[in-house]
Chain A
Amino acid sequence: MKIAVCVKQVPDTWAEKKLDGGDKTLDRESVDGVMNELDEYAVEEALQIAEANSGEVVVVTMGPDKATETVRKALSMGADSAIHIADAALHGSDALATSLVLAKAIEGKGFDLVIFGSESTDARMSVIPAMVAERLGAAQLTFANKVEVTGETVKIQRVTDYGYDEVEAASPAVISVVEKINEPRYPSFKGIMAAKKKPIEAVGIGDLGIDAGQVGLAAAASQVESFESAPPRAAGTVVTDEGQGGVQIADYLSAQKFI
């Protein structure tokens, strides 16, 4: 069984994220990059499925050279090899372009499963897995908090507002996972050493048959026109409870017409 797992490098959650004043894209240079947290769950799930089905796990990432750190992390967790799509033309790509690049990198390589995190912490769009499924014409099994693979059949529990849906398909399938699905492993020392020798295939858009005009900032189908810092919330009132704290809040809520 051949499994692709898509991971993204994102700015560290604790870093202050900024937009670049020039081209209004996310400033990825000035902040530390980490693997998108939800993608750690995707890697873990891929490894568990591979372990149970004597499979192979290939990491796929699109991002600047620096994203190699994130690729190495996935390899040190136990993935076998990686495809890293880095190309100056990709800077500023939107979801349409990102999904195109990922789909082209995955297409025709005989993957049975493609596993994603369900959301990146920087873009927070939650659209890439569905868009890649659409482009590949493969089954979409997204927002899974449970995945069961039995031969060709893949079954998931898809998280919904009311509970979950059981959704089933024959592979090849595109899966995205939510964080309750597993407990991602930490890379072991041995894993970190082994990762240094694992192959990372560097790919440019030309290798994927993609034209520079189809991706990047200039091709983006939506544009950021302007941005500004949100006005800080006006300082509120803070009181110390001296036995009437609940009543004081109720007074405030009454004044604001909530009750």
Chain B
Amino acid sequence: MCDLLWLIPAAPLVGFLILIVLGSRIARTAVSVIGVGSVGISAVTAILVGVDVIGGTPPGDAFSLLMWQWMNVAGFSAEATLYLDGLSLVMMLVVTIVGFLIHLFSVGYMADDEAFSRFFAYMNLFVSSMLILVLSDNLLFLYLGWEGVGLCSYLLIGFWYREPDNVAAANKAFIVTRIGDTAMAIGLFLLFYSFDTLNIQAILAAAPQQWQPGATTAVLAAALLLGGALGKSAQLPLQTWLPDAMAGPTPVSALIHAATMVTAGVYLIARTHVLFELAPQVQFAVAVIGVLTVLVAGCSALVQSDIKKALAYSTISQIGYMFLALGIGAWSAAIFHLATHACFKSLLFLGAGAVMLSNHHEQNMFKLGGLRSRMPVTFVTFLVGALSLAALPLVTGGFYSKDLILWYAWASPVSTWWIWAGGLVGALITGVYALRMVFLTFFGEAKGHFTGRPGLVMQIPLIILAVLSVLIGFVQTPHSLGNIELFSDLLRNVFPAPAEVSATLSTEALMQIIAGLACLAGIAIAYIFFLRSPRWSSAVAENPQGALLHRFWFMGWGFDRLYDRTLVRPFVFVARINRRDVVDVVVTCIALTTEAFHRALSLGQTGKIRHYAVGMAIGAIITIGIAVLL
């Protein structure tokens, strides 16, 4: 069954090709069959392959499939090879299954859009690129997928390109991630320079022998890869593109946030974890960036009025948890949170999409409300997603993954107390903003202009994702709660075993109670401030300091303004100065001199042929004279 691995990225790619070439000429039904079906084929194949791998002996063994020799030049060779191990299996399943459900939802969501086939073409390419990224066995092939993902995010964020704002958002996403991509490309050059290969497994095997822990080259390589991951995963300080990326259609946001794109950075770090272990400073920086991002983005999510923006900041914050986990060496915990996050975040985005579609594309939560009874299915599923995001103890997937991260943040020897504390405060904030969205949108008095419930084709993905969001938690439970380790078993061959933790079962249980209380406290705060007595929240917002803080957080801590002042404006200023091409002055001077000589010489053109003959004669005499004299 593993031999069918090639079909997984190929099916959406074929779907893309068909749709982009023939899309405008075939019926909408055919477009949706091709668009959804191609990803469906991928998902089914991925599940079959997954069953095969998990059930195989030994479980979780790596498998690689050479598709073709891509290039072989002067000692450098790159193969288009797919590599399947526990990590890529998890990523592949997340991308295909979540991607498939999002595609299915899109059939309903985009039904009235005139560029229906273009949308599905881009979406298919997006999924295909992401699959290439996660299945590639060398960094060059991975980079192909990496850039493909970047391209598709650009195309889809600017999908409604007639609005200048959307185009600006697309450009921003492309340029900001490009900063990270450049760092990553340099990192790849450095790795090739050091190891003469870009094969990931070969590099990971050779690196510990060639580099001492903390060696300068190792630190540099890890830092450059981290730069790429920061851009793609929208972490501090390159997080500014993600809130603007909400300009795209809502299913695109779901795809970017859950299955593709932002998880790529997490995957990259997890995939090259050996390099980060050899560069402890960089790994610690990953944790610090993670915890800062959790708090910064979490605070911004607290005050957003746009439901999609709130979700966007929450994604940045949740990816921050994954970075935190990567930074303290809790590799499998990070990937576990990635998987649970993919389920509940795509659920939340699709739910938000359903809400918007049923309310005249109203995104402002303060203008919505009371949708609980009008959209029961959407309400229940959105609530499940929000509770999973808030990590409601015991029953949601988000609890088990976040709790695992917090537990390692507490217990891991490389972690510090303030990383744990930051994560805990982040959990509290998460609880507040997750339920704030639910309360503002679905409770309270009914506002907004309700136009009808979403169709079945949109409700089914919501229900499936809600079920997944709950069930996925039970594949990995802590020691105090059954100690199921299906998930980390799968990744056992990929990652080193986490450091031995010398903590008793009661300590672990205590930590879980603290984490659970943080979540419940967050939910309680949201209940008090946004449902029971909204006066309190408006009182805080009207207080001068509160208003200032509100505005500061609302604008995402002023990062956009900072970058605008320090980078964009100076650049535009220099560009304006250089509009007349300062550098070209030299070239222009040469041209002007030539022209002046030409004018001087053309004065000799009298039109009298005898004058020319005199010139020739004098010239001949001078030439002969020189020849004779010398």
A and B together in one complex: no
Q: Which residues of A contact B (CB under 8 A)?
A: none
Q: Which residues of B contact A (CB under 8 A)?
A: none
